[in-house]
Amino acid sequence: MKTIFEEHEAGRGTAYLPSRKVDLGAYLPAGEIREELPLPELSEVQAVRHFTGLSRRNYGVDNGFYPLGSCTMKYNPKINEDTARLAGFAQVHPYQPEATVQGALQLMWELQRDLGEITGMDAVSLQPAAGAHGELTGILIVRGYHESRGDAKRTQVIVPDSAHGTNPATAAMAGFEVVHVPSDERGGVDVEALRQLASEKTAALMLTNPNTLGVFDERIAEIAEIIHAAGGLLYYDGANLNAVLGHSRPGDMGFDIVHLNLHKTFSTPHGGGGPGAGPVGVKAHLKDFLPMPIVTMENGQFHLSYAAPHSIGQMRSFYGNFGVLVRAYTYIRALGGAGLREVADDAVLNANYVLSLIKDHFELPFDRIPKHEFVVAPPEDLVRQKGVKTLDIAKRLLDYDFHPPTVYFPLIVHEAMMIEPTETETKETLKAFADTLCQIVDEGRENPDYVKTAPHNTVVGRLDEARAVKQPRLLERLGG
């Protein structure tokens, strides 16, 4: 497909604004006025066809099954798209007086309260823009807490070797040294190793539970005890909350801080890479450290409160990705508490169902009851003798119109494939996917080259990633 720069033809543009001539020289110093503006010109029809064409070269949840592990690619209800666009939400300026935005503030206040109930936390900030931004907020709260106690020796954040890359990156951004704790043979935190690592230097432990292997860390109470006894805080990465909604809450597991991914658990669309939202909840003793502002209620009136003495400050402009918050609020109101618990029930049921259908065809690094996702690897003979790897299976899935699972993560499993079906899929879809996976294993044994050169039915074949780095072409300019 052509780019907008290749479609350019001077004079094709559409006038969307009044065409009145403005003499900029009357207002701005001559030397400041820009002369050249090398942007493409397309007619509206060209532009609409261009972007429609691009959309057809994309694959979303609405196109088909998307079992991308740790990403919770559930269906995004359409009502959410309508509510977020209501004029009273979308056409509201963040600096409007409080009295003119009571609806928006009430929505935020109720969402703070509801997310607190869902996670078992006492106070919630809706400000963070995404999961990693929530992590940074949480770890800065850790820093603020220890600093407020004059506890300067806590320089380390402990992160499991199965953690998302954002965890160690976040800890470093907040100025901490990252210490890795290994996993045990059952896929959980190696508690004995943790005991050795926990010390007066420990600022926090960052944990996902169920973890990235999809298994629930049964020794969570013991883990919390070790960290708390050492004087550290326990941070919950909410990427996998979908598995335990209504069953177990991070607050009840002993966590002090939690971030949520509204674009995972609470059905807001991922947008091809955002916007997300990463609210952060804390226990009462950390409430004063939350970023400002928080929405408060007094006599039925809602306010933006900046009165937090120990606040870590502000994490972004204004109050959060409000449009995303409206979608999540809509979802929570539609489902209610019972509906949310059913989400976890079926997310776990679906993962176990798919696993039961493929487990004889794949390697299982940990043979346990998974929660909402699980990790497998291709059979050894396929990898060793035929040279067919996880990447090849993923690419072959594209030919069958499935989005592949997350691959090569978590790092601790060789040739990992991490499968998260989510609760919104039918039994027939799950079965078809499982059958296809098994069929690809057979194909790999019979005709390995065909699988290794997949995909065969997509608009482009496997792309040369090395070339993208060696001969970088990161943008296009008008006229080439």
Partner 1 sequence: MRFTPHTEEDRREMLRQIGASSVEELFSDLPQSVRLDRSLKLPEGLSESEVARLLSDLAARDLDMGQYVSFLGAGAYDRYIPSAVGELLRRSEFYTAYTPYQPEISQGTLQAIFEFQSLIAALTGLDIAQASLYDGATAVAEAAMLAWGQTGRERIVVARSVDPQYRAVLRTYAHGRGLEVLELPLRDGRAGAEDIAGAAEGAACVIVQHPNFFGLLEDVDSLVKATHEKGALYIAVADPISLAVLRPPGAYGADVAVGEGQGLGIAASFGGPYLGFMAVRQEYLRRLPGRIVGETADKDGKRGYVLTFQTREQHIRREKATSNICTNQGLMALAATIYTTLLGPDGLRQAAALSVEGAHRLGDGIGKVQGAELAFSGPYAAEVALRSRASVGDVQGAMLKAGMLGPLDLERFYPELPGHMLLSVTEKRTSEEIGKLLDVLQGVEA
* 29-48 residues near partner 1, rule: CB under 8 A: 29, 31-34, 37-42, 44, 47-48
Does position 353 interact with partner 1 (CB under 8 A)? The reply is: yes
Q: Name the token pair of 336.
A: 């209610």
The residue ranges of DSSP E strands in 289-442, in sequence order, are 294-298, 301-305, 374-376, 406-407, 417-419
Comparing CB distances to partner 1, the nearer of 337 and 380 is 337
Q: Between residue 383 and residue 412, which ones bind partner 1 under the rule CB under 8 A?
A: 394-395, 398, 403-404, 406, 409
Residue choice 82, 192, 367, 381 for contact with partner 1 (CB under 8 A): 82
191 close to 157: Cβ distance less than 8 angstroms: no
316 binds partner 1 (CB under 8 A): yes
Do 207 and 223 contact (CB within 8 A), yes or no? yes
Two structure tokens written together for 226: 């070790």
State which of residues 218, 367, 435, 446 lies at the interface with partner 1 (CB under 8 A): 218
Asked if residue 131 binds partner 1 (CB under 8 A), the reply is: yes
Q: How far apart are CA 167 and CA 158, in angstroms?
A: 9
Rounded to a whole number of angstroms, the minimum distance from the CB of residue 146 to partner 1 is: 13
**Stretch of 113-121, 228-236, 279-287, 437-445 lying at the interface with partner 1 (CB under 8 A):** 113-121
Rule CB under 8 A: choose which of 315, 418, 440, 441 binds partner 1: 315
Question: Encoding tokens for residue 116?
Answer: 């607190």
Query: Considering only 161-169, 189-197, 229-237, 281-289, which stretch makes contact with partner 1 by CB under 8 A?
Result: 161-169
Residue 355 CB, shortest distance to partner 1, in Å, is 8
Asked if 340 interacts with partner 1 (CB under 8 A), we say yes
In whole angstroms, the minimum distance from the beta carbon of 417 to partner 1 comes to 13
| Token duo for residue 367 | 């043979």
Candidates 114-122, 195-203, 227-235, 281-289: pick the segment binding partner 1 (CB under 8 A). 114-122
| Beta-bridge partner residues of 297 | 302
Whether the CA torsion 30, 32, 33, 34 is positive or negative: it is: positive
The footprint of partner 1 on residues 424-443 (CB under 8 A) is 424-427
Q: Per CB under 8 A, which of residues 367..386 are in contact with partner 1? A: 368-369, 371
User: Does residue 216 interact with partner 1 by CB under 8 A?
Assistant: yes
Does residue number 24 form part of the binding site for partner 1 (CB under 8 A)?
A: yes
**Is residue 269 close enough to count as binding partner 1 by CB under 8 A?**
yes
Task: Pick from 298, 460, 479, 480 the residue near partner 1 by CB under 8 A.
Answer: 460
Q: Report whether 446 contacts 7 (CB < 8 A).
A: no
Cα distance between residue 280 and residue 135, in whole Å: 8
Please list every residue from 271 through 300 that binds partner 1, using CB under 8 A.
271-276, 291
Min dist. Cβ of residue 381 to partner 1 (A): 26
The answer to the question of residue 461 lying near partner 1 (CB under 8 A) is: yes
> Which residue is it, tokens 């805080």?
233
Q: How far is the CB of 218 from partner 1 (least distance, A)?
A: 6
Beta bridge partners of 202: 156
Letter string b/e over residues 402-413, b meaning 16 or more CB atoms within 10 A of that residue's CB: bbbbbbebbebb
Q: What 3-state DSSP class applies to 236?
A: strand
Identify whether 410 is preceded by a cis peptide bond (ω within 30 of 0): yes
How many residues bind to partner 1 according to rule CB under 8 A? 201
CB 211 within 8 A of CB 240: yes
Beta bridge partners of 305: 294
C-alpha–C-alpha distance, residues 123 and 390, integer Å: 42
d(CA 141, CA 155): 14
Identified binder of partner 1 from the candidate list 65, 67, 69, 101, rule CB under 8 A:
101
Q: Which of residues 226-245 bind partner 1 (CB under 8 A)?
A: 244
Question: Among 170, 208, 211, 436, which residue interacts with partner 1 (rule: CB under 8 A)?
Answer: 170
Q: How far is CA 282 from CA 158, 228, 325, in A?
A: 19, 15, 18
Residues 40 and 5 sit within 8 Å (Cβ to Cβ): yes
Of the residues 192, 367, 381, 476, which one makes contact with partner 1 according to CB under 8 A: 476
Work out whether 76 is an interface residue with partner 1 (CB under 8 A).
yes
Residues in region 184-213 near partner 1 by CB under 8 A:
none
Residue 59 binding partner 1, by CB under 8 A:
yes
Nearer to partner 1, 44 or 192 (CB): 44
| SS3 (DSSP) at 216 | coil
